[in-house]
Chains A and B, each alone.
Chain A
Amino acid sequence: MEVPILKQGDYLIATFQAALSDADLNQLRSGLIQQVVKLRSRGVLVDVTAMDVMDSFASRTLREIAHMIRLRGAETVIVGIQPEVAFAMVQLGLTLEDVTTALDLEEGLAYLNEKFKNTH
């Protein structure tokens, strides 16, 4: 199951589906970084609203995506982590550490717009 990556202005939006395998996540990671380079994106929004399980592999991949994209000078925001998923992540001992998160796409966009408002 491939994750669609949409371009919106300076930003990319990737929307996760529920049943992502490790291979899908790896593919998303390389797909996103390629698109960020190709399109010179400033920000990436990763929407995980539909994800019902965030295990150690998924959260490590998200962290790697955010760190790789930061090295490119762009910013990643993970949006839509469900409350139940957040609870399970904390129980499991998973953190997204220095990765920015926001409630939903709207808030994620607002964050990126605020961050880049003086640089255009």
Chain B
Amino acid sequence: MAPAPEIRVAINSEQDIVLARQKGRARAIELGFSSGDATLIATAISELARNIVAYARKGRITLNVVNGLNRHGISVTASDDGPGITDIRQALRDGFSTSGSLGLGLPGVRRLMDEFEITSQPGRGTTVVVKKWRH
């Protein structure tokens, strides 16, 4: 398969959340994911984009194709230059929220996807990379 170009969606308002998850679903289907997996991916994108809007106001979602040894999949990168997360372990705990509404976000996203990576620097921003492999 020819390497597909990456797709970037700027997240500047809650309207962009819908756009990002639509693009994510379309890309997942193009890559051969089942409709059920595409729903999981689109839902994860929705939550990640929502975190950007809630905590950092602005950021971006980037979709890429990832290739493993005998498999390929999709990666979703959500990055922002927001306030960052001081205590990542706490943010990954079910039920934790500092915005008063989003306690399910990160642990839920981790369950929706196969791989989950987060880096954050207080004052510099947060980047979350999640991957799902085609089964």
Residues of B within 8 A of A23 (CB): 14-15
**Which residues of chain B are within 8 angstroms of A56 by Cβ–Cβ distance?**
47, 50, 101-102, 104-105, 108
The answer to whether B104 touches A94 (Cβ under 8 A) is yes
User: 0/1 per residue, B49-75, Cβ < 8 Å to A?
Assistant: 010000000000000000000000000
> For this complex, into which size category does the number of interface residues on chain B fall?
20 to 34
B40 and A21 contact, CB distance less than 8 A: no
The answer to whether A54 and B104 touch across the interface, beta carbons within 8 angstroms, is no
Please count how many residues in chain A sit with their CB below 8 Å of the partner chain's CB atoms: 23
* Residues of chain B contacted by A55 (CB below 8 angstroms): 43, 46-47, 50
B5 within 8 A of A: no
A88 to B42, CA, bound (A): 9
- How far is B104's CA from A88's CA once the two chains are assembled, in angstroms? 13
B50 A92 Cβ-Cβ under 8 A: no
Q: Which of A19, A21, A53, A60 contacts B39 (CB 8 A)?
A: A53
Report A68-120 residues with CB < 8 Å from chain B CB. 82-85, 87-89, 91-94
Q: Does A20 contact B (CB under 8 A)?
A: yes
Interface contact B42-A21, CB-CB below 8 Å: no
Hey, what's the 0/1 contact readout for B26-55 against A, CB within 8 Å counting as 1?
000000000110011011001100100000
Q: Which 8 A-B pairs have the closest CB atoms?
A: A92-B108, A55-B46, A84-B39, A88-B43, A22-B14, A84-B36, A91-B111, A93-B108
Seen from chain B, the residues whose Cβ lies within 8 Å of a Cβ on chain A are 14-15, 17-18, 21-22, 25, 35-36, 39-40, 42-43, 46-47, 50, 94, 101-102, 104-105, 107-109, 111-112
